[in-house]
Structure 1
Amino acid sequence: MSMVFRFRMLSDENDNFVRDYEVLYDMTLLDFHNFILQSLEYEECMASFFTADDHWEKQREFTFMDMDDGSENAPMAMEKVTLGQIIHDRRDRLIYLFDLFGDRAYFLELTGTYEADKDGAYPREIYAQADAPDQYDPSKNRVEGEGSIFSEVMSDFNDFEGDDNYDDAY
């Protein structure tokens, strides 16, 4: 039986935007990219995935086009990597950078791992709330709301705001 990853996707442009996806663990990042585009009704675009740490800092990059130059930290092509190769624990995170020039992204977090339903079709969107931000114009959909899921998730990182004793270098 195949395993399914459940991801929650959030946006920093629309605090009310949420998507929950179920995808097979052996899906390539390229297939996941194409599924996200289809789900959001976006046109084909250059994009990158990044693994992210607990503070949403970018780590390893996976690109739409193969840019592997043989160096140790060269980005890998999305088509060569499956989700199961980079996602291992609940709460593992990905950043999906869909606008390379505008540095616009979605934030994905693994919320569960399940056995695939034998009659289920994957990948699939299992929950959707609010419209996706406009693919080309970020000013069209800027929505911030009290009690938003994005604000709640990111609130853990506001502890250091206004703290003059906190040094960004560490």
Structure 2
Amino acid sequence: MIYRFRVILDTHEDVFRDIEIEASDTLEDFHNAITQAFGFGGQEMASFYTSNDAWEQNEEIALFDMSEEPGALRVMNETLIEDVVSEEETKMIYIYDFLSMWTFLVELAAIAEAEAGMIYPNLMFAHGEIPEEAPEAEFLAEGDEDDDFDEEYDLDPEDYDNLDFDENWN
């Protein structure tokens, strides 16, 4: 079986790649297909994370097991795509280069039969240009505001006289 994925860069601009890959391939094969599709060298650390419909990050599946307890972490080269993704569990998060934190939302779009003569993985479609630097991650949950803390404690950052600290402490 062939899995067709849409891999979306988590940014304000529309940047995504549609990739076909065999369900029996490993997540390492998929990692290599993603890095090639987006023009990365592939030398940086990366991990897939299982995810639910709300895109919440769950179990990590790493490129290498760097945990303190060997074997405690699933690794990409030992994990088949079909063991992580199914018609019911369609979403994953992929993070490439933990210093830059390139974050991708990966979703299974379709399951199909392999086409005779087609070589997989296959980049079906590419849209958008990848930016020079990884987009800044926004860690606010839906409905959160930057000033919730200020409102909760009735603080006004512009009201220096009542902030209870000496602004010239140094």
Task: Please give the root-mean-square deviation of Cα atoms over the aligned residues, in Å.
Answer: 2.3
For residue 134 of structure 2, what is the amino acid of its counterpart? P
Give the Cα–Cα distance (whole angstroms) in 2 for the partners of residues 84 and 109 of structure 1. Answer: 13
Give the Cα–Cα distance (whole angstroms) in 2 for the partners of residues 100 and 19 of structure 1. Answer: 21
The answer on whether the counterparts of 1:90 and 1:111 sit within 8 Å (CA) in structure 2 is: no
Q: Deviations over 1:40-63 (max 9, x none)?
A: 111121100111111111111111
How far apart are residue 12 of structure 1 and its match?
1.9
The answer on whether the counterparts of 1:28 and 1:82 sit within 8 Å (CA) in structure 2 is: yes
4+ residue stretches of structure 1 with deviation over 4 A?
none
SS at match of 1:37: helix
**Could you tell me which residue of structure 2 aligns to residue 147 of structure 1?**
none
Identity %: 29
**Could you tell me which residue of structure 1 aligns to residue 18 of structure 2?**
20
For residue 42 of structure 1, what is the amino acid of its counterpart? F
SS at match of 2:82: helix
Which segment drifts farther, 100-109 or 39-48? 100-109
**Could you tell me which residue of structure 1 aligns to residue 131 of structure 2?**
133
Alignment of 1:71-86 (within 5 A): 74-86=72-84
Q: Deviations over 1:121-156 (max 9, x none)?
A: 11011011111233xx226xx8xxxxxxxxxxxxxx
SS at match of 2:99: coil
1:108 alignment partner, one of 106, 112, 132? 106
**Could you tell me which residue of structure 2 aligns to residue 60 of structure 1?**
59
TM-score by length of 1: 0.73
Q: Give ranges in structure 2 of 5+ residues lacking alignment.
A: 149-170
Larger RCO: 1 or 2 (CA < 8 Å, sep 6+): 1
Q: Give ranges in structure 1 of 5+ residues lacking alignment.
A: 143-156, 165-170
**Could you tell me which residue of structure 2 aligns to residue 48 of structure 1?**
47
How far apart are residue 113 of structure 1 and its match?
0.1
Alignment of 1:145-156 (within 5 A): none
Give the Cα–Cα distance (whole angstroms) in 1 for the partners of residues 79 and 131 of structure 2. Answer: 27
**CA 1:90–1:129 in structure 2 vs 1: closer, same or farther (change >3 Å)?**
farther
Give the Cα–Cα distance (whole angstroms) in 1 for the partners of residues 85 and 95 of structure 2. Answer: 17
**Could you tell me which residue of structure 2 aligns to residue 145 of structure 1?**
none
For residue 54 of structure 1, what is the amino acid of its counterpart? D
The answer on whether the counterparts of 1:90 and 1:113 sit within 8 Å (CA) in structure 2 is: no
Give the Cα–Cα distance (whole angstroms) in 2 for the partners of residues 105 and 64 of structure 1. Answer: 15
TM-score by length of 2: 0.73
Structure with the greater alpha carbon radius of gyration: 2
2:36 alignment partner, one of 32, 35, 38? 38
